[in-house]
Amino acid sequence: MARPVGSAQVARHYLMCRPTYFAVEYAINPWMDPDAGVDRPRALRQWEELRDLHLSLGHRVSEVAPVEGLPDMVFAANGGLVVDGRVYGARFASAERTPEGPAYLDWFRKAGYAETREPKHVNEGEGDFITLDGVILAATGFRTEAAAHQEAERFLGRPVVTLQLTDPRFYHLDTALFALSGDQIAYYPGAFSAGSQRVLRSLYPDALLATEEDAAVLGLNAVCDGRDVVIAAEATALADRLRVLGYTVHPVELDELRRAGGGAKCCTLVLRDAPV
């Protein structure tokens, strides 16, 4: 069980993308059903509530302009990985999302990020890379290639630990694990291979272990700033356990965006800018 925490919030800079063109027009993960359709105005309202919540918690939010024909661009976390102001770009696994990589990298360059890297290997940004105080956890199995882990490690100068995802419902690391305060995590063991479960138990013996029920509503696709946790409203048991540990929990309704397999973290890319 994760250790209790204090109230040490870290103010952050987030990048988000308005779901102007959000739709489910293809199926590249088990959550997507093109025949079911989406309510785009409702998705927009839910996204705006998430953005406004981030702002109300004292965080800065920048926005990248959505591109027509890229309905998944709303999931900004997949657009790159930013550590100490250095940007490791995304190279998407599916043809449908491939143009998102250059679109996000273009935003970073125009925003003044001088150190950017167009990747050689397939990776989907913070979808499969989670940065903690001392290490970056990185997943492979469905989207990101293991070779991208070494590429990111060399460029960012941070140690990267490779984990293997095995359940297609949890196709990105950020659907199965999220960072809490400092060097602590919450995760669903069933999303990982037996070897990766051993690695996680060794590195994080006090981690908060989520149930399949909470994972199945993307409860682990959450955003934590060290004090506040923004989490899927349906993940009630996980929310209760976080409150016991001293976190302030903010449930959000994002079920319309979940039709494409995304939640609060998918919509939120953390810009870990270089210290000034």
17, 224, 250, 266: the active-site residue: 266
Distance of alpha carbon 145 from alpha carbon 122, whole angstroms: 6
Q: Rounded to a whole number, what is the largest CA-CA distance in the chain?
A: 49
3 state SS of 146 = helix
Beta 80-83 vs 60-63: how paired, if at all? Answer: unpaired
Look up 172 and say whether it is catalytic.
yes
Using an 8 Å Cβ cutoff, are 218 and 199 in contact?
no
CB 149 within 8 A of CB 122: no
How many beta carbons lie within 10 A of that of residue 1, not counting itself? 11
| Active-site residue, selected from the candidate residues 59, 172, 224, 250 | 172
Helix (H, G, I), strand (E, B), or coil: what is residue 139? Answer: strand
Give 162-224 as a DSSP string: EEEB--TTS-SGGGTEEE-STT-EEE-GGGB-HHHHHHHHHH-TTPEEPPHHHHTTTTTS-EE
The Cα-based distances of 234 to 44, 207, 221 in angstroms read 19, 21, 12
DSSP-derived 3-state class of residue 114: coil
Distance CA 118, CA 210 (A): 35
Tell the burial category of 223 from Cβ atoms under 10 Å away from its Cβ (0-12, 13-18, 19+): buried
State yes or no: is 266 an active-site residue: yes
List active site positions. 172, 266
